[in-house]
Amino acid sequence: MEALAILFAGVGLALLVTALLGTSIELAGVKPPAPTTRFARAVTGGVGAILVGASLAMSGVLPPPDPAPSPSPSAETSGSATPGSSGGTPVPSPSDGSAPPGTGSPTPVLPTPTLPPIASGPWRGMPAAFNGGIDAAVTRDIGFMYLFDDDVYIRFDDLVGGAGGGATSTAGNWHGMPTDFQAGIDAATQRLDGYIYFFKNDRYIRFPPDLTQDATAPVLTAANWHGLPASFHSKIDAAMTDEGGRIYFFRGNQFVRFTAIAAGVDAGYPRTISSYWTGLPQPFEAGIHAALMAPDGSTFFFKDDEYVRFSPGRTQVDVGHPQKIGS
């Protein structure tokens, strides 16, 4: 039937061409008169033949086009026999509790194992004990930063590479420390001339810049740091030295500043922490546990298991802080 339809269409086209050709010749004056009748008959016959062929195709007499070849079976289902056929392994039906292959049944979701958090911030790589809080912190002029927790400390060479190693005994590398200082310190800082100070309760000790000599004997803090308010005599919560060599002591919600140790506390102090460092969360306004200025000029305050950061040259807390020390 498909051939028949093609035949009718071909005849129709031939008649149309003949009519057009005949008309052209007649117009040229070669054919005898009465071209209109012959042209009409030819056109009518050609159109009729084309319509007959189209009708045969559209009436369903002609077979439909061959379907596209189905994709080859995947490795998962190749070789499987359909249910009830012989040979191969029958495909399980839904009634036996398992879905047939290729039906898109969801893959069971396995529970995600619970893992301890991995520090990804500037203080990453510390032992877990440090994530709960920092007792004291100090930056040395050679760029190393030290964080202390009880009787151990950890060193950071910069804010990019993470901790430079595991926790180390404070007494093992800071020689000549009194026993009570070995158990933990309250605050630490370094002067621009390299001398390092550790504070514990109402006393302090001092190390030479190269750490080749033992610490000095403990001295009352108020005896040599003149002008301290009475509340600072018994304990320094945190200490820090800025890029200009000014030293800051923190106690409760207040701080004092020394531009020159011999001259005593600068005029206009103590001040509240929040009057200078703004945007602090309320717990930090009430007091901090440790502070340091990093080699890049960033300032960090630590309180319990959190810290805040101030970008270099700024006293407004950076967006996104506080953050967990171990985050």
C-alpha dihedral over 152, 158, 164, 167, to 10 degrees?
Answer: 10
Spatial CA neighbour of 186 closest among 261, 291, 93:
291
CB 130 within 8 A of CB 143: no
**For the chain, what percentages of helix, strand and coil (3-state, to nearest 5) are there?**
25, 20, 55
In whole angstroms, how far apart are CA 154 and each of 14, 123, 151?
A: 98, 10, 11
> What strand order describes the sheet that includes 168-169?
136-139, 145-149, 152-156, 168-169
DSSP code of 282?
H
Give the residue carrying structure tokens 């964080």: 147
Predicted confidence at residue 123, as pLDDT, reads: 80
Burial code (b: 16+ CB inside 10 Å, e: under 16) for 172-199 equals eebeebeeebbeebbbbbbbeeeebbbb
Alpha helices in the chain (DSSP H): 2-27, 35-58, 170-173, 179-182, 221-224, 230-233, 282-285
**70 backbone dihedrals φ, ψ, rounded to 5°:** -75, 150
From first to last of its 327 residues, the chain has per-residue pLDDT tens of: 444 444 444 544 444 444 444 444 343 444 444 444 444 444 444 444 444 444 444 444 444 444 444 444 333 333 433 333 344 444 444 444 444 444 455 555 555 444 344 345 678 777 888 888 999 999 998 889 999 999 999 998 877 766 767 889 999 889 999 999 999 999 999 999 999 999 999 999 999 998 888 999 999 999 999 999 999 999 999 999 999 999 999 999 999 999 999 999 999 999 999 999 999 999 999 999 999 999 999 999 999 999 999 999 999 999 999 999 877
**Burial class of residue 292 in the structure, from the number of CB atoms within 10 Å of its CB (0-12 exposed, 13-18 middle, 19+ buried):** buried
Q: pLDDT at position 106, please?
A: 54
The CB density around residue 310, as the number of other CB atoms within 10 Å, is 21
Asked whether the beta carbons of 214 and 175 are under 8 A apart, the reply is: yes
Identify any residues that bridge with 153 across adjacent strands, giving them in sequence order: 148, 168
Check: CB of residue 249 under 8 Å from CB of residue 239: yes
